Amino acid sequence: MATENRKARDLQLLDAIDAFPRDPFEGRTWRVAPAGRDPTLGGPSQSRWCNGAFDVLYTSLERDGAISEVHALLSLQPVFPSKPAWFCFELAVRSTKTLRLADLSTLQTLGVEAADYPRRNYERTQSIADAAFFLGFDGVVTPSARWPGANLILFTSRLEPASIELKSDSGEAIDWKTWKRRASATES
């Protein structure tokens, strides 16, 4: 087995996160996925709440929150992709040991700068998620950086497959232009 090339975990951060309760979560969330991808499957990523060392499933507690997260990612490309079809799915989720970091002031106590949170500076949030995964949490509720509301990031290897249930067989197709117009009108 190859040796991982990683730095030691921050002991103060581990202690701070270990002091949080391990709360259950049961409710609906939304997930955006491209056509043909199972919206209940997670995977490793280099993202705000994953350093690539474990599988995550990004969901949002708000339908528009899920769409806004993917829209922000797609908007980073030189030309917004128009060919792939994307769908928004409703999921029923059950977890038992969720870390709740529901607002920016809570994140600040863990070393996340509120002004930097919307930016793509992921080092501290990745460390928080890594510590939570290491400590046995099965997910993290966090403020969305892209939409008012919260996201639920699930550590899929910590959950039974039945803990994430697709609410219908087909998701709602996303028309990006229509969604962006509606979202802009909501913001004004």
What are the tens digits of pLDDT across the range 131-153? Answer: 999 999 999 999 999 999 999 99
Rounded Cα distance, 134 and 14, in Å = 9
- Note the helical H segments in the chain: 11-18, 63-74, 104-109, 123-134, 176-187
DSSP at 43: B
pLDDT of residue 112: 96
Q: Is the whole-model pTM more than 0.85?
A: yes
The chain-wide mean pLDDT, for the chain, equals 92
**Residue whose C-alpha is closest to residue 128's, from 158, 155, 146, 150:** 155
Helix axes 123-134 and 11-18, enclosed angle (nearest 10): 60
The model's pLDDT over 70-111, given as tens digits with 9 standing for 90+, comes to 999 899 889 888 888 999 999 999 999 999 998 999 999 999
- In this structure, the dihedral spanned by the alpha carbons of residues 108, 110, 115 and 116, taken in order and rounded to 10 degrees, is -170
**Per this entry, what is the length of the chain?**
188
Degrees to nearest 5, angle at CA 182 with 181 and 187: 100
Rounded Cα distance, 53 and 159, in Å = 16
pLDDT band at 185 (very low <50, low <70, confident <90, very high): confident
DSSP, collapsed to helix, strand or coil, labels residue 32 as strand
> Amino acid identity of 117?
Y
Cβ-contact 151, 61 below 8 angstroms: yes
